């Protein structure tokens, strides 16, 4: 959309009036991972439908609230609820909150998600550090006229997920005794789960986990010059590697690892330099 910058600027200006400082980082919370937002102290809470131009969440477990406050001794802005291509949104709308965070001065973005495991060494309940992604199967979030105020036309994707932030996550996981997996995330459009044949093909391509989010946001953040850290919860094994799949199972598994997930994310911010 040609006036995306102006719309994002209006949203950022509205939010900025409610903040109590400059955020060190932004956090996007995936399916079932919203309870982390309750750990944010002295938080300002804004419903998405009160923020100018913000899309509205339609997925169960995505609350649709922006929270700004202290986590692990750092001032952060968390988005409890995200937007997906399968909801009917255009990609410029999916990445709209990332661009708003950029205009708020956020330079580091932590993206979380619930995913299906493809790597058979993984199991439901594992946490996975995203090392890279595959995104052949959906339109680019940067499609259309480039907005130079966010970033240049052709964005280098050699290192989307910042190596220093990944090393920090590994160190914190080791200190807390958390078995943090690492792998490649593949983005599919959804909302249907993938077929066993698709999973076999994705495994050949080098994917370790599959999901319906994260990648558009990571691309937009990289385009805008932000440092990205991606952490996924393996909530189920992908099609053909277990029985039938359901969104209810995704939420239940995420709930079981809530304490471990919260400890890891809080620990990362406690160690933030």
**Displacement of CA 105 from its chain's centroid (Å):** 18
| Catalytic annotation, pick one of 108, 113, 232, 236 | 236
Point out the catalytic residue in the list 68, 75, 84, 220: 84
Burial (0-12, 13-18, 19+ Cβ within 10 Å), 145: exposed
Considering the candidates 10, 198, 247, 249, report the single residue annotated as catalytic. 247
Residue 60 has, within 13 A of its CA and on its CB side, a CA count of 8
Q: Rounded distance, CA 13 to CA 105, Å?
A: 11
Q: Can 213 be counted among the known catalytic residues?
A: yes
Rounded CA separation 136/134 (Å): 6
Number of alpha helices (DSSP H) and beta strands (DSSP E) in the chain = 8, 9
Catalytic residue among 80, 119, 213, 232: 213
Which parts of 48-143 are beta strand (E)?
65-71, 74-80, 108-117, 127-134
Catalytic residue among 114, 173, 224, 238: 114
What's the Cα-to-Cα distance from 136 to each of 20, 45, 126, 133, 215, rounded to whole Å?
40, 36, 25, 10, 11
**Among residues 8, 25, 31, 187, which one is catalytic?**
31
Catalytic residue list contains 84: yes
| From 5, 63, 70, 86, active-site residue | 86
Does 114 participate in catalysis according to the annotation?
yes
| 86 is known as an active-site residue | yes
| Catalytic site includes residue 62 | yes
The residue from 11, 209, 212, 221 that is catalytic is: 212
Q: Is the sign of the CA dihedral 170, 161, 116, 54 positive or negative?
A: positive
Which candidate in 11, 75, 85, 87 is catalytic? 87
For the question of residue 20 being annotated catalytic, the response is no
Annotated active-site residue 236? The verdict is yes
Q: Catalytic site residues? A: 31, 62, 84, 86-87, 114, 212-213, 236, 247
């Amino acid at each position: 959309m040609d006036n995306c910058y102006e719309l994002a600027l209006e949203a950022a200006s509205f939010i900025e009036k409610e903040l109590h400082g400059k955020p060190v980082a932004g956090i996007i919370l995936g399916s079932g991972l919203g309870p982390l937002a309750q750990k944010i102290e002295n938080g300002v809470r804004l419903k998405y439908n009160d923020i100018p131009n913000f899309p509205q969440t339609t997925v169960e477990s995505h609350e649709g609230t922006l929270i700004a406050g202290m986590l692990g001794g750092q001032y952060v802005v968390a988005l409890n609820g995200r937007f997906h291509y399968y909801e009917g949104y255009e990609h410029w709308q999916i990445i709209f909150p990332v661009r708003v965070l950029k205009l708020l001065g956020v330079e580091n973005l932590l993206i979380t998600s619930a995913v299906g495991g493809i790597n058979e060494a993984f199991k439901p309940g594992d946490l996975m550090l995203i090392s890279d992604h595959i995104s052949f199967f959906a339109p680019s979030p940067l499609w259309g006229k480039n907005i130079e105020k966010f970033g240049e036309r052709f964005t280098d994707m050699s290192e989307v997920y910042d190596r220093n932030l990944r090393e920090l996550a590994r160190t914190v996981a080791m200190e807390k005794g958390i078995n943090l997996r690492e792998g490649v995330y593949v983005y599919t459009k959804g909302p249907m789960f993938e077929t066993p044949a698709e999973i076999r093909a994705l495994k050949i391509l080098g994917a370790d986990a599959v999901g319906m989010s994260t990648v558009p946001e990571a691309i937009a953040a990289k385009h805008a010059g932000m440092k990205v850290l991606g952490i996924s919860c393996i909530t189920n094994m992908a099609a053909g590697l277990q029985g039938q799949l359901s969104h209810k199972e995704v939420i239940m598994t995420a709930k079981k690892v809530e304490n471990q997930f919260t400890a890891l994310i809080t620990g990362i911010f406690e160690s933030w330099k």
